[in-house]
Structure 1
Amino acid sequence: MELTENNVKALLAKLPLLKNEIQKVIVGQDHILDELLVAFLAGGHCLLEGVPGLAKTLIVKTMSQALHLSFRRIQFTPDLMPTDIVGTEILEEDHATGKRFFKFNKGPLFANIILADEINRTPPKTQSALLEAMQEFEVTYGGQTYPLDRPFFILATQNPIEQAGTYPLPEAQLDRFLLLVQIGYPTEQEELAILNQTTGTKKATVTPVISGEEILQAQQLVRQVTISEELVAYVSGIIRATRPDTTTNNYVKEWVRWGAGPRAGQALILTAKARALLKGRYAVLKEDIQAMATPVLRHRILMNFKAEAEGITADKVTGELIRG
C-alpha cells in the first residue's frame, strides 16, 4: 500500500495513542516503553534484562493487546528442543483415500510478538533456532521453508543475577538483538501506584489502536526519515571510537577489549530514525542518536578483565564517547 500524506498523518497520530494504551496497565517505565516501541518501529528485536517481578512479561503482553497482534510466550528451560518452538511434522491420514501423509504443525514461533522468557536457560541448539528465525523471518523444517507472520518481534528476557545453570548468549548472537534494554526498580511513587493498581478489583482494559498492517507501514516510513551526512559521520565516529585498536580515545584503550561492528552503526541510525518518528519528526536530530546510543552499544562493547574488576561498564564507555 502506497503511503499518502493523509494516511502518514493518521499513522503518526496513532503512535502516542499506542503508548497511552500500554500505560493504562504499566506504571512508570517510560523510557523502557520508548525503547521497546523504537525497536518495534525499526523492525528489530529486543533483549530485556532485569530481575524477576518487574513486569517484563506484562509489558510485552500489553503491547500485543494495544497492537491487536497475536502473542505467544515461550518459557525457555534446559530441556527445550528446537522443535518445541519451531514446530514438528505429525502423521495424518486422509479418510477418503486412506493415504497417510506428514503435515507440519506450527510451533509457538508463528505469532507476531514472541516473549522468549529466560533465553539463557536453554541450550545453544534451541537458542540458534530462535536466532535463525529472528534474522531470516522464516524457519526451515524437513527441507521446507515456512515464512513467519509479519510484523515479527521477539522480546527475549534474561535474569542478570542468577547465572547458575544458564547458557549465556555468545557475543555474535547478542549482536542480532537491535537493543539491550535494562529494566530497573520503580521509584517510590511508581511502586505505590503499582501496589494500589494491582491489588484491587479494578482492571484496566486495553483497546487495540494500531493494526499489524499499519505497523508494517510505520516500519516502512521509518526508513524514509531523513538523516544528514553530518549525522551519519557522527554515528560512524562513535562506532569506530569503540574499537581499542583504532581509536584515539584513551578511556576506550584502557577499558575495552573489543569494540562494536558495522551492524551497531546500522542499528543506531535505524533506531534514531524510529525515535524521531515517535517524536513526530521526519528528520533525525543529534539528540536521537545520543538517546539510542546506550541501548544499541551496551551489548556490543566487550569490556576487558580490568574494567570488570573496577566496575566500568559499556554504558560508561558510551557516555564518555557521547560527551566527547
Structure 2
Amino acid sequence: MKKEDTNFPRPSLFNLRQLSLVAWLLDAPSGTRRFMIDTGKTRKFYETGAPRAEDGLLPVSAFHPDEKSDIAKAARDEFGGSFKFDPWDLFKAGILGRYERRYPNMAASTVSFEDKVADIYIPGKWNLGSVYYEIGNDWAREWYAQSGKARREKLLAALREKEAATRRRAVFGRMVSIQPIITKELAAVLPAGYHFTLPSHSVLRPCMVATIVAETEKRFKVRDAATMTGGRIAKWGMTTEVGREEYVERELLMLDNATDADIAKLVAFDEEYALEVNEIGKSVCEEIMPIIARMAARVEQKKGQHGDMLADLLASLKKDR
C-alpha cells in the first residue's frame, strides 16, 4: 500500500535517535534484513546472513548498546551517541512494524514475534518479553528519502557541531612509582638466593591520552582513551566506566587541548626521565654489586671454617670437664 505524500507523518515528530533507527533499518545490505529486538530492559540490533546449509535458517550478527565493538561504536555515533529512544512513536505513525510474543487469545491471524523469527537461527532462546521491530510499510523508504533523511542530517549536524565545541584531546596523569631495573648481567653477579632491591620513588607521569566530549564540575566524559603510546589503558586504572561511557576525574588532567607535538614531547620527557633513573640505578649497581659479591665470597669462605672451628671449641670444652 502506498501512502499519499500529503499523509506522510511530519518528520519533526521524531528525534535524532528515532530517525537513525529508521535509517539503520533501511540501510540493510542487499539480500539481508535488519530488525531490532526490545525487551524493555535490553535492546539488540540484528542483521541476517546467508541461509545455513543444514536447515536453511538465517544466522544473524548482532550488537547491543553497551558493546564496545567497532560496529557498535560506529552505529552509536550515527545514532548521536546513544541508543536510548522510544520506538512507539514510529510504530504509531506506521513507519515501524511491532510484533509481540504470542499470548492467550491473540487472534490466529495476527502476526506474532514467533512468526517473524521463525526463519532465524540463534543459539539458545529468545527472551520471553521480546518485541520485534522492523520497517512497517513500503512507503517508509520514500518518506525517509523525501523528508526524514533531511531532518535526521540536520539534527546530527547540530549535535556534532555542539560536540566539536567541547571535543578536544587531553593528557591525563597520576603519581606512578619508578624503580630502577637491575639488569640480568648485574643480577648474575649476586650470590644465589640473595635479593637486592633498589629504592623507588613516585612522580607525576603522563599516562593517558583521551578525547574529551563532555564535562561536569568533577569529571570529563572521554572517548578513544589510550596510553601515551596508543596501547590499552587497563593497567593504569585511569577511567571509570558508567554504562558504556568512560569518565576521568578532573584532578588527573595534565594538559588540555593537547596537540600531537605536545603529546610527543611529554612522551619523550617521561621516557628520558625513566631512562635516566635506570642509568642511575645501573651505575650504583655497578659499584655495589662487586662489593656484595666480594662480601659473599668472604662469607662463604668463613662458612667453610665454621665446622672446624665449632668442632675444635666443643672438643676443648669436653676436655676441660
Please indicate the TM-score interval, normalised by the length of the shorter structure.
under 0.3
TM-score by length of 1: 0.27
Superposition TM-score, scaled by structure 2 size: 0.27
* Larger radius of gyration between Structure 1 and Structure 2: 2
More relative contact order, 1 or 2 (CA 8 Å, 6+ apart): 1
